[in-house]
Structure 1
Amino acid sequence: MNSEHGGQPYIAAHTSSSYSINNPYSHDGPEEMVELQSPRPYRSPASHDDQGSDFDFQFQQDQQSARPAIVPYRPGLGHNPPDYTSSPGLFPTPRTSYGPESFVNSPFASRSASPTLYQHSQFESSASLGRIPLVSKPASPAFAKDWIHSGSIARLSDRDDIDIWKGWKRVVFMFTPFLTFANTAIYLFYLGLRIYCIISAQNAANITFAGAWVFVAIEVAVMVPSLMHNCWTMMAAKKRGRPKLRLTGNDCPTVDVFITCCGEDDDVVMDTVRGAVDQDYPIESFRVIVLDDGRSASLEEAVNNLAITYPNLHYMAREKIPGKPHHFKAGNLNYGLDQTHTLEGGAGQFMAALDADMIPEQQWLRAVLPHLLVDPKMALACPPQLFYNTPASDPLAQSLDFFVHVIEPIKDALGVAWCTGSGYVVRREALDQIGNFPLGSLAEDVATSTLMLGKGWKTAYIHEPLQFGTVPEDYGGHLKQRTRWAIGTVDTAFKLKFCLWGDAVRKMSFAQRFSGFLYATLSLYTLLLTASIFAIPIILLWGKQLVAYANQDQLHWLIWTCFATTLANRLCEFALFIPAGYHTGQRGSRYQLWMSPYIALCIVRSFMLPSWLGGQTQAFKPTGSLGSALNERDAKLRKNMFVRLRVILFNFMALFHFAFVYVTLIAVVISTYRCFKVEKGFKDIVVCLLTHAFWPPMTFLFLCSSLWTPVSYAIDPPSMPDREELLNRDPKTGVAHPTSKSKKIAFGGQAAWFELELTVGTVLTVLVFVYSFFF
């Protein structure tokens, strides 16, 4: 792959000679070698070939002044770059001078990049990463000492997800592309037949079946997201070959680990901090820096007290001047990147980031970093965000399991893995090239990985359970989190021209462009989906025939194709949802429906309405700083049901959901009454019911159960124990990790109820199919 780096690979090591390293992605053992050369001298971003991006969207400009030179500031030193002498610090001190810093306008009006001190390194010993062959012998998780070789990368398995899912599930999942293709083809045939029958019926009766046309339009609108996902999941046919790697020994690259926080509870942040400093990683090779945008005195004190035990721990809080844009999380991260140059030893060779509530597993850095070390063009590697406080049945679909276990691995196989916002490790050289984290976006993680792909870098998704955090514990926090994600995705898509053209995405492949376009389009599609959903009760009250046909043969074919479509869809869902869990996928399907009005409303307010008509500027509210006024998941402190209903129905506008369900059910009752009153024979009554409200698999039932989610949550919210009960805490060190039980989502009554509804719909479809042969 051509690059701005002259095709010369970069590795986080400083040596004067070329050397080779076994490629752990290869199945050919030591025969396949990757040549790694000395890193090139640092060049400022302005010297790259991509200088002068044509991305013309200008957001709020950062007003900070430029530094005159690439010099790490140290107290007591002047501005002239001194020749540092070696000193025993956390990172070795560089013996070099630096030239003038250049600036380049980034696609997101980001501030200028902070150059990384690539010249210093921990790879000075003869036992460097490149000099010792990689371990190919299978290893146990205990890391038995008889197979460890200092300074090597161990290949533990051919698949990084070997511990997550295996056996018969993988065999079934192999059929997903074929089942998806068959499901799509059958549905398109069914849709074409529906349209043909309406036209035939109109020609035969010389009337217009307006209700049938509206019903077909609604079916299409509701199915479009699934069809778009089907096109995407058919790409699962491309085999994913990401191995499970471990960096062993003590010759490890230097890493700055940032923990971003803003008003979260000190206990939550400190659990993340303790997990970060307790990494199985040489203490002299990594720093943990708490970037506190809330400037909490109590948090600062707690961090400083812990730093007595862990000298590689630091606390930082930037000054936020009123009236001056601070760019939220992206600005906080960029501040941290700048400040690492002021610390002893300068900036690390890699940067890692954790959200305030994400507790990393002890092997986190050793698991993620090898994927960056073996590929000099790998800019970023990221594990999934997993959670330990998800309630049974996950009623609000907060777990993200379908995205992290199904969608992201498929995207990774196609070379378009997204940064998921926490737990990632990124190459500082790649950050420098895009001008650090882009400003002016609420989805700085997606924007960062997209810009890196646009520059020709690679991104990786490491499908291992390496971090566990918390989902919002209240309904309002969940809404603000998800609508913020949706707005950030759409905003980023507009600025990047939906990843279809422009210099910012110039080096993207077709799959990468299609992925960026798809997910931005799905967010915008909530506008049409919301309008289609609320048209259901209107056409049912209208009383018009929803399924039109010219003769009995056409009705038979419509019923048969509907039967085939329903069964094919259920088989496809079963295979596709397997990596995340079947019930997880079902929750995700409902989530798309009941959340669509919220997302649509936020998109309209953010991008379409002027302020005088209710438009809102994009605002960031950290989920962790939102107090739960209802305390709905605390069995002792939660407000009573009437208060919960009032707040969720009116304050959080679930009254729309409530009205939809009741109006739809009333419309179904009226439609049923009409059929029994007008028609006389059993056959005529059945056909009337089928063609007016109960067309299998009873779409109105699925829609009502989905839209009822906020109301059912208000009436009967799940109860969760205190957070401490979900953790195993070391009494000596205070380090806490989630229990095995808390890492899994328990099966609850709601999941059973959802499956009962789908089963009823499927059984009805089968019965109608059988009965169709008798009339």
Structure 2
Amino acid sequence: MPPLRKADRRRSEQSPMTEMSTVSAPSTLRESQESFVEKPMTVHPVYGSYRESVSLDQPRLSRRPGLSDLHNRTLSDLMTESIPDSALEPPSGGFPLFAPGAGSTYSESQTRSSSPYPVPSPFRSQETLKPLVPDAPSTYFKRDWVKEGSIAQLHSRDDKEFLSGRKRWLFRWVAPLLCLISLSLYWFYFGLRITFIVDAQRHYKAPFPLAWVFVAIEISIAIPIFMQTLWSLFIIKKRHRPKLRLVGNDVPTVDVFITCCGEDDDLILDTVRAACDLDYPQDRFRVILLDDGKSDPLKNVLEEMRETFPNVYYMRRPKFPNVPHHFKAGNLNYGLDAVHSLPGGASEFMAALDADMIPEQQWLRAVLPHLLIDDKMGLACPPQLFYNVPRDDPLCQSLDFFVHVSEPVKDALGVAWCTGSGYVARTTALAQIGNFPCGSLAEDVATSTLLLGSGWKTAFVHEALQFGTVPEDYGGHLKQRTRWAIGTVDTAFKLRFCLWGDKVKHMTFAQRSSSFIYAFLSLFNIFLTLSIFAMPIVLIANKPLVAYANDTQLRWLIRVCFANMVFNRLCEFVLFIPAGYATGQRGSRYQLWMAPYISLTIIRSFVLPTWLGGQRQAFKATGSIKSALNERDPKRRAPMWRRIWTICVNYLAGFHVAYVYFVLVAVTLSSYRTFLTQHSLRGKLVGLLTHAFWPPLAWLIVCSSFWIPFTYACDPPNCPDREELLIRDPKTNVAHPTPEAKKIAFAPQTVLFELEYSITTAFTALVFVAAFFY
């Protein structure tokens, strides 16, 4: 990377670091970007005082006054084929209007420029790029306004680094087949259970209430797996998303917003520096820090950074008492309004980064082509990846299963979500839905849903283009995940689960189904929790949990249960290929032990009145959640007794511990009573089987999952200091995660959990074989 050079002193003096403030009267907006007027040194928003935020219930559909010319600009306005060279001299300040003329040769160093003026064209025609990009067809790009050769196709699939070769073939063709067989066996097994309970009641002329409760518990625990497996059937639908790159300096303008609210200054500055260091012409994008934390030291540092990066800006919005500021959505909306007063006005595209998300240098060049080749594409978003995930990820803080398995399937069906950071959006698309909807803690999901409902498309770009941080303590993790759950449910309620209404009228059946399923799964945590806590009560009652009329029915139940388990395990092996088998199993355990927290949060937020403990959770940025225990720092870690007390009492993990002991006591009592009441060996074995030891030992899997918070309190993982996870350029101070930090390290705990799965599998197989002899 060539050393960064300072901008011309005259340019720096003309564009001092300013803080955005408000005025009482609106300022006059230029008619178009083609007229560059000298701006005052203090920049004011074009609308004067801070505008009323958009509500999710009533989004602002009217367009900004006087911005029709800005919003209607396309790349065709930037083309220079018929413009003489003399017209390429831009006025002083702002973005240049025209791209450089063609005719120069391609050079990697020319794709980045710190000059505010045009440079010779850095791209060649697509025909000349063919030796570098073998997979790029000569007639791939049909849009007249996409210049020939300005976009290169590096590969026909954007997920090549995550899935290739035999793994792709297994995942694409074998996984859907195994999912279909697994689903069929699920329903066949539960159908037999219900049928045989009815037969047993008729045969013995007595009810089996606990058998009904137990089968309901099994179905409740299986429903999340069932829904995920059902959704995974659509893996077979091919996803057409090539790996593209925007080439040269003839590129659209972008405003990159970085939102922050109380995070550490060092964390924010690493993101700002990496954003300023993007492989993108410096005069074609701006980096705007939207600071809701109002940090003066942060503002001073950014003023100094403008000597090197004149395209970086610091903004803070005014907040007034008793006036809703709408958290992150309000912050982004303020930025979208304020940039109209910057030199050159608003850009054609906007992009957003969380304060802790460090973008890769090719971020904009990788995401923008997906919006340029389709004028109905309103938003494109890469996955959120992390560089400080601890060894073995005991709390399942990574989103690998969602971003590598679920989100590509959704993208194939046209339901890609905005995941909150790293996305690039068309400003005209956002203007149509009234910018970011307020009134929801999940403004990202709400935004992409409203875009789909308005007829726009969204894309998931499956490349590793950003890396952030996960909360470094147990409490921070709970606050983050419960906030996500509240936001998803709240958005679903306001949009009527995307089933009907004007806001979702352009959604397809797949888009409506996806939104409904994910909201339903969040709400289903309540029923899952009730079922889990009913399990020890059922076990301790010492009544048959599996009802049947004769031994033949019992043998058939065992055989179908074994077949179901075998195909379910095979399905897991293949379905978890993109994210990793261990990651997929961690996600399954996480759904169980996290269910009580999400259930309690949903009930307190949407059901209980305030006088009974109901409350609405306030937004708190992930990076601003501080650790009180420092449990992952071996030097500053709180003592074990304090960690156990805080996690078990303050964070209610004591209920998880009590549940585990309650289940173990129930299993022990049930087994003891079976031995006392049954006299023959066969009677004892069948009694154990139909009470506590019915395969695949669901109580054992639930207990091991519920024990995770306690083991985390006793033996938390060690994480190095954040600086040790970064590679920092000594000249520019720009930092990026190390290759090792981008991966989840292996830990012995994974072996213990896999040993548990192996034991339950072997036990089910043993019962299956024994059914032929007893």
TM-score by length of 1: 0.85
Cα separation, 2, equivalents of 1:129 and 1:533: 65
Which residue in the other structure is 2:317 paired with?
318
Q: Which amino acid is 2:198 matched to? A: I
Paired amino acid for 1:769: F
**Would you say 1:713 and 2:712 are equivalent positions?**
yes
Matched-pair identity in %: 61
- Alignment of structure 1 residues 639-678 onto 2, 5 Å: 639-678=638-677
* Structure 1 position 106, deviation (Å): 6.2
Instruction: Report the residue type matching 1:123 in the other structure.
Output: L
CA distance in 2, matches of 1:747, 1:210: 45
Following superposition, the deviation at residue 118 of structure 1 comes to 3.6
Shift of 1:137: 2.5
Instruction: Check the 8 A contact 2:54/2:436 in 1, yes or no.
Output: no
Deviation at 1:702, TM superposition (A): 0.3
Amino acid aligned to 1:169: K
Q: Classify 1:519/1:119 alpha carbon distance in 2 versus 1 (closer, same or farther; 3 Å).
A: closer
Q: In the TM superposition, what is the alpha-carbon distance from 1:666 to its structure 2 partner?
A: 0.9
Superposition deviation, residue 124 in structure 1: 4.1
Q: Does 1:180 align with 2:179?
A: yes
Structure 2 match to 1:12? none
Aligned partner of 2:57 in structure 1 is 108
Aligned to 2:634: 635
Q: How is 1:319-398 mapped onto 2 (pairs within 5 angstroms)? A: 319-398=318-397
Q: In 2, Cα distance between the equivalents of 1:138 and 1:446?
A: 40
SS in 2 for 1:773: coil
Q: How does 1:474-513 map to 2 (within 5 A)?
A: 474-513=473-512
Structure 1 residue 617: Cα displacement: 2.3
> What is the CA-CA distance between 1:225 and the residue it aligns to?
1.5
* Contact persistence 1:438–1:447 (CA under 8 A): yes
C-alpha distance 171-290 of structure 1, shift in aligned 2 (>3 A)? same
Q: What residue identity is the alignment partner of 1:537?
A: P
- The structure-2 alpha-carbon separation of the partners of 1:501 and 1:407, relative to structure 1 and needing over 3 Å to count, comes to same
Give the distance between the partners of 2:492 and 2:583, measured in 1 at CA.
28
Tell me if structure 2 keeps the 8 A contact 1:498–1:517. yes
Post-superposition Cα deviations, 1:355-403, rounded to whole Å, max 9, x if no partner, equal 0000000000000000000000000000000000001111111101000
- Post-superposition CA distance 1:458-488 (Å, at most 9, x none): 0000000000000000111100000000000
Contact 2:126–2:148 (8 Å) recurs in 1: no
Are 1:255 and 1:352, in contact at CA under 8 Å, matched by a contact in 2? yes
Q: Which amino acid aligns with 1:408?
A: E
Cα offset for 1:151?
5.9
Counterpart of 1:137 (choices 117, 130, 137) is 130
C-alpha distance in 2, partners of 1:534/1:559?
Answer: 25
Question: Tell me, what secondary structure is at the counterpart of 2:290?
Answer: strand
CA contact (8 A) 1:634 1:719 kept: yes
How far has the Cα of 1:510 moved from its partner? 0.3
Distance 2:533 2:353 in 1: 40
Change (3 A) 1:105 1:622: closer
1:255–1:286 contact (8 Å) kept in structure 2: yes
Return the alpha-carbon distance in structure 2 between the equivalents of residues 701 and 264 of structure 1. 40
Q: CA deviation at 1:670?
A: 1.1
| C-alpha distance in 1 between matches for 2:463 and 2:655 | 40
- Does 1:244 pair with 2:243? yes
Amino acid at match of 2:475: G
Q: Cα offset for 1:66?
A: 11
* Worse-matched range after superposition: 620-629 or 107-116: 107-116
In the TM superposition, 1:188-199 aligns within 5 A as 188-199=187-198
Deviation at residue 641 of structure 1 after TM alignment: 1.0
| 1:164 maps to which of 158, 162, 173 | 162
* Counterpart AA for 2:151: I
Residue 258 of structure 2 aligns to a residue whose secondary structure is strand
Instruction: Give the CA deviation at 1:672.
Output: 1.6
1:55-94 counterparts in 2 under 5 A? 73=27, 79=28, 81=30, 86-87=35-36
Report the Cα offset of residue 238 of structure 1. 0.6
Does the CA-based 8 Å contact 1:151-1:252 persist in structure 2? no
Q: CA deviation at 1:165?
A: 1.9
In 2, distance between residues paired with 1:680 and 1:300? Answer: 80
**Inter-partner Cα distance in structure 1 for 2:126 and 2:536:** 64
**Cα contact 2:489–2:522 (8 A) shared by 1:** yes
Q: Verify the 8 A CA contact 2:392 2:750 in the aligned structure 1.
A: yes
- 1:571 corresponding residue in structure 2: 570
Q: Which runs of 5+ in 1 are unaligned?
A: 1-63, 74-78, 91-96, 144-148
Contact 1:560–1:769 (CA under 8 A) maintained in structure 2: yes
Q: CA deviation at 1:419?
A: 0.3
Kept in 1: contact 2:469–2:623 (CA 8 A): no
Q: Is the Cα–Cα contact under 8 Å of residues 402 and 577 in structure 1 kept in the other structure?
A: yes
Query: Is 1:125–2:80 an aligned residue pair?
Result: yes
Corresponding residue number in structure 2 for 1:10: none
**2:513 is matched by which residue type in structure 1?**
F
CA drift at 1:133:
5.2
Please give the secondary structure, in 1, of the residue aligned with 2:286.
strand
Opposite residue 172 of structure 1, the aligned amino acid is L
Check whether the contact 1:246–1:366 (CA below 8 A) recurs between aligned residues. Answer: yes
Aligned partners of 2:648 and 2:710 also within 8 Å? yes
Aligned-pair CA distance for 1:618: 3.6
Runs of at least 5 residues in structure 2 that lack an aligned partner in the other structure: 1-21, 40-45, 82-97, 103-123, 137-146
Tell me the CA shift for residue 350 of structure 1: 0.1
CA-to-partner distance for each residue in 1:663-706, whole Å, 9 max, x for gaps?
Answer: 00111111121222222333222211111001111111100011
1:704: which partner in 2?
Answer: 703
Q: 2:414·2:511 contact (CA, 8 Å) conserved in 1? A: yes
Equivalent-residue separation in structure 2 for 1:589 and 1:152 (angstroms): 44
The secondary structure found in structure 2 opposite 1:534 is helix
| Cα deviation, residue 575, structure 1 | 1.2
**What amino acid sits opposite 1:756 in the alignment?**
L
Task: Work out the CA distance in 2 between the residues paired with 1:84 and 1:412.
Answer: 35
Letter in 2 for 1:446: V
* Mapped pair 1:736 → 2:729: no
Aligned with 2:467: secondary structure? strand
Does 1:772 pair with 2:765? no
1:315 is paired with a residue whose SS is strand
Contact 1:138 1:157 in 2 (8 A): no
Partner of 2:471: 472
SS of residue paired to 2:78: coil
Q: Aligned AA for 1:418? A: W
Deviation by residue 1:595-645 (Cα, 9 ceiling, x = unmatched): 111111111111111111111024112221121000000011111111011
The separation in 1 between residues aligned to 2:448 and 2:546, in whole angstroms, is: 47
Give the 3-state SS of the residue equivalent to 1:535 in structure 2: helix
What is the number of residues matched between the two proteins? 688
For residue 60 of structure 1, what is the aligned residue in structure 2?
A: none
- Under a length normalisation based on structure 2, what TM-score does the superposition of the two structures give? 0.85
Per-residue CA distance 1:300-331 (angstroms, 9 max, x = gap): 11212112100000000111111110000000
Give secondary structure in 2 for the equivalent of 1:200: helix
Query: Over the residues paired in the alignment, what is the CA RMSD in angstroms?
Result: 2.5
SS of equivalent residue, structure 1 residue 601: helix
Preserved CA contact (<8 Å) 2:352 2:421? yes
Structure 2 letter corresponding to 1:162: K
Contact 1:644 1:714 in 2 (8 A): yes
1:545 aligns with 2:544: yes
Question: Any idea what SS the aligned residue of 2:259 has?
Answer: strand
1:129, 1:235 → 2: CA distance? Answer: 45
- Indicate whether 1:686 and 2:635 are aligned: no
- CA–CA distance in structure 1, aligned partners of residues 543 and 100 of structure 2: 73
Residues 475 and 105 (structure 1), Cα distance of their counterparts in 2 relative to 1, 3 Å cut? closer
Shift, 1:108, TM fit: 3.4
Equivalent residue number for residue 153 of structure 1: 151
Q: Give the equivalent residue in structure 1 for 2:43.
A: none
Tell me, in whole angstroms, the C-alpha distance in 2 between the residues paired with 1:649 and 1:214.
29
Q: Given that residues 54 and 437 in structure 2 are in contact (C-alpha distance below 8 angstroms), is that contact kept between their aligned partners in structure 1?
A: no
